[in-house]
Structure 1
Amino acid sequence: MNKDFDFIIVGKGLAGIILAHHLIQSGKSILLFDDQNGQSSSKIAAGLYNPVTGRKMVKTWKADVLFPYLESYYRGIQAHSDEKFFVDKAIYRPFISTEEQNEWSARSADESYQPYISKIHYSSINNAVNDLFGGIELKKSGFLNVPVFLENLTEVLLKADNFTINKEKFDEEELKLSESEVRYKGKLASKIIFCQGVASTKNKYFQWLPFKPVKGDILTIEANMQTDLIINRGIFVIPIGKNRFKVGSTYNNYDLTTEPSMEARVLLEQKLKELISVNYKVVEHISGIRPATKDRKPIIGMHPNYENVGIFNGLGTKGVSLAPYFANQFVLHLVNQSALDKEVAIERFYTLINDDK
């Protein structure tokens, strides 16, 4: 029997729509489920991408392959849009001591870090920032306006003849599987890929995976602070225009409610006051649940018992950086049987499955 689609994709956050786009580019037909009432961390994400991260400020995992690909990918989409959603912007991390100055002076000679270091400042560059000892200015960084990007890529996909969106809530009980196809309410496809973010913790096919969701709160503030840099130390402060800034984020594994947390706001404001020295006003407070995993790596691949059921998930706090490169890798795997990176392949968790039905 002829199939209606090559792939059904469930979820229209960053993971789902970028995977759909890569599959469309490979000539595949797609039915994408977009439950507009569902919880998606993509809807509230600040969209920061940063090549040097963490308390120890080291290169982010696979930065040398992730960042060239993401820059090319997002700029390619933006080239066909009247809106600017991919913003290349330097990140400034204030030093807290002369020892840290010296440490970065030494690290700047490391060839592996040179592509990401723009400049080292040895004195304050902004009266509004608490940077008595100067700071490190990083490049190949910035942010993606995720909601605007999702809208633009949706418009691109809707122009394709082999792409369809269904805005109803996907019902797992309506999914029927066989060796050669999947069937959903009369529609036939070769495979189905779940890109549901944190909702996969309740997906009957994948709830055995070691997801470790993380709640994040983000503030929008108004402040009379003149800077074109993203300030990042403990929290990020992203200039978004008209004296407004995104401030975040918190990382909470215990409170997984979707409502903004007053405790998180207090913590963000405490860190903000340590970072900047100007008055501000909070104008918005939002929160979301990120689909992180136990080992902080994505989970990609096909179910061990159902070869037509796959997952593309677990992008956590770095979805903007991870989604393009690994969507491309997954499509090469699906279409050409190319190997997946062992660090992201679902096979690393096959031993966790018990009697999955």
Structure 2
Amino acid sequence: MEVDFLLVGQGLAGTVLSHRLLALGQKVMVIDLPGGNQSSRIAAGLYNPITGKKMVKSWNADLLFPEIEPLYTELEELLGTTFLYKKNIYRPFLNIEEQNEWMGKTGDPGFEPYFEKIFSKELYSEVTNPFGGILLKNSGYVDINTLLTVYSGYLTKKNALLEATFEEESLEIGKSGVSYKGISAKGIVYCNGLGAMKSRFFSNLPFAPVKGEILDIIQRFYPGEIINRGVFRITLPNGNQRVGSTYTWHDMDQGSTENAKNELLEKLEKLVPEEVSAIQSHRFGIRPATKDRKPFLGEHPDFPGVYIFNGFGAKGVSLIPYYSNTMVEMLLNGHQPEKEVNIARIKKHNSNF
């Protein structure tokens, strides 16, 4: 079989990149083990333009956010299913100084695309918000698990999915492309998250995995908005609430932990002090983050045709729509990604790569 590109991994990165390539008439084969993609499948899928304790605009927001909803809407139409939930995010102010600071930003054109409304008084009696808060737009979440499952079926119908463990020792690199178990291609793209850390090509890249845990709970309070300060709280279509997420760089063990559950419940109580009547599920994933918190895009310096599209960490839903276009431009037209995300930046600091 001949294809244009082999893609390793059908997590969110592999899903979106393969869609971009197929839409441009390219032939792809995605290699993916059923039941994998744990990081993508447990992710809450939040896209949020104002982040962090200091409530700053997300990195590259003005480039990233115009691409998010059009891409996922396009995939919804292609697949005939719903997984994009456009929702405002309500972020309570911590003090009067923060309220005043954001009142002053209402006339700033740089923030206008992300402001819906500012409240100077309590919006919800169920939320700890005595100083009011900011209501953000161009935000929401993606049900990544549904997207990956339905898209897997789509690839299968197109004979573009090889359901198997990728065995790198069977990959052959030639002058005009690559071959893998009888499949030849112009190139291969590693979209397989932490799996790339075990690759002989990319094991020296400075990944910095981050473990995250989330809860699905039952709590009486059903706002239309996502409530986000310290933790996020999303009302799901079934009426349950999703709460997350923890971030740890130290505990990389497989499995959810009591410490993370308690941390989430304590932060939730501070934000929404309503009784939690049940915990429906407690899940974990290990995100393929990087040391500089920027993704990895590019071609291996010593092996032409071997590429990586990876390292999106906790913000894959926001980053992948824009950077998948960047990756396509590299694969099809040879355009180099910008320095901030290009793996060429690593060579300056890592002589082994």
Of 186, 190, 201 in structure 2, the residue corresponding to residue 190 of structure 1 is: 186
Unpaired stretches in structure 2, ≥5 consecutive residues: none
Structure 2 residue aligned with 1:234 = 230
Of 172, 179, 200 in structure 2, the residue corresponding to residue 176 of structure 1 is: 172
Structure 1 residue aligned with 2:204 = 208
Instruction: Calculate the TM-score normalised by the size of structure 2.
Output: 0.96
Structure 1 residue aligned with 2:258 = 262
Structure 1 residue aligned with 2:47 = 49
Report SS of the residue matched to 2:348: helix
Report SS of the residue matched to 2:98: helix
Report SS of the residue matched to 2:186: strand
Report SS of the residue matched to 1:241: coil
Unpaired stretches in structure 1, ≥5 consecutive residues: none
Verify the 8 A CA contact 2:152 2:161 in the aligned structure 1. Answer: no
How many angstroms apart in 1 are the aligned matches of 2:37 and 2:30? 16
Q: 1:246-325 alignment to 2 at 5 Å?
A: 246-280=242-276, 281-325=278-322
What do residues 62-82 of structure 1 show as CA deviations (whole Å, max 9, x unaligned)? 111211111111111112444
Of 19, 27, 30 in structure 2, the residue corresponding to residue 29 of structure 1 is: 27
Higher alpha-carbon deviation: 171-180 or 244-253: 171-180
Q: Does 1:336 align with 2:336?
A: no
How many angstroms apart in 2 are the aligned matches of 1:207 and 1:332? 25
What do residues 88-107 of structure 1 show as CA deviations (whole Å, max 9, x unaligned)? 00000111211111111011
How many angstroms apart in 1 are the aligned matches of 2:346 and 2:194? 18
Verify the 8 A CA contact 1:221 1:246 in the aligned structure 2. Answer: yes
How many angstroms apart in 2 are the aligned matches of 1:194 and 1:38? 15
Specify the code of the residue in structure 2 equivalent to 1:221: I
Specify the code of the residue in structure 1 equivalent to 2:317: V
Specify the code of the residue in structure 2 equivalent to 1:219: L
Structure 1 residue aligned with 2:195 = 199
Structure 1 residue aligned with 2:5 = 7
Higher alpha-carbon deviation: 215-224 or 233-242: 233-242
Structure 1 residue aligned with 2:96 = 98
Specify the code of the residue in structure 1 equivalent to 2:58: T
Name the CA shift for 1:328/1:317 in 2 (closer, same or farther; >3 Å). same
How many angstroms apart in 2 are the aligned matches of 1:37 and 1:277? 36
How many angstroms apart in 2 are the aligned matches of 1:79 and 1:189? 29
Instruction: Calculate the TM-score normalised by the size of structure 1.
Output: 0.95
What is the deviation of 1:154? 3.2
Report SS of the residue matched to 2:236: strand
Report SS of the residue matched to 1:252: coil
Verify the 8 A CA contact 2:119 2:132 in the aligned structure 1. Answer: yes
Verify the 8 A CA contact 1:224 1:243 in the aligned structure 2. Answer: no
What is the deviation of 1:156? 4.1
Structure 2 residue aligned with 1:121 = 119
Specify the code of the residue in structure 2 equivalent to 1:86: L
Of 66, 69, 77 in structure 2, the residue corresponding to residue 68 of structure 1 is: 66
Report SS of the residue matched to 2:221: coil
Structure 1 residue aligned with 2:221 = 225
How many angstroms apart in 2 are the aligned matches of 1:183 and 1:46? 36
What do residues 174-198 of structure 1 show as CA deviations (whole Å, max 9, x unaligned)? 1111121212122211111111101
Higher alpha-carbon deviation: 179-188 or 33-42: 33-42
What is the deviation of 1:327? 0.8
Count residues in correspondence.
Answer: 352
Q: Does 1:350 align with 2:332?
A: no
How many angstroms apart in 1 are the aligned matches of 2:97 and 2:79? 46
What is the deviation of 1:243? 3.2
What do residues 144-203 of structure 1 show as CA deviations (whole Å, max 9, x unaligned)? 00011123333444454xx51111101011111112121212221111111110121221
What do residues 265-284 of structure 1 show as CA deviations (whole Å, max 9, x unaligned)? 11111101100121112111
How many angstroms apart in 1 are the aligned matches of 2:77 and 2:167? 36
Higher alpha-carbon deviation: 225-234 or 150-159: 150-159
Verify the 8 A CA contact 1:40 1:197 in the aligned structure 2. Answer: no
How many angstroms apart in 1 are the aligned matches of 2:114 and 2:222? 24
Specify the code of the residue in structure 1 equivalent to 2:319: L
Higher alpha-carbon deviation: 52-61 or 78-87: 78-87
What is the deviation of 1:339? 2.9
Specify the code of the residue in structure 1 equivalent to 2:209: P
What is the deviation of 1:84? 1.8
What is the deviation of 1:125? 1.6
How many angstroms apart in 1 are the aligned matches of 2:88 and 2:305? 43
Of 130, 133, 140 in structure 1, the residue corresponding to residue 131 of structure 2 is: 133
Name the % identity. Answer: 42
What do residues 111-139 of structure 1 show as CA deviations (whole Å, max 9, x unaligned)? 10011010011111212111111111000
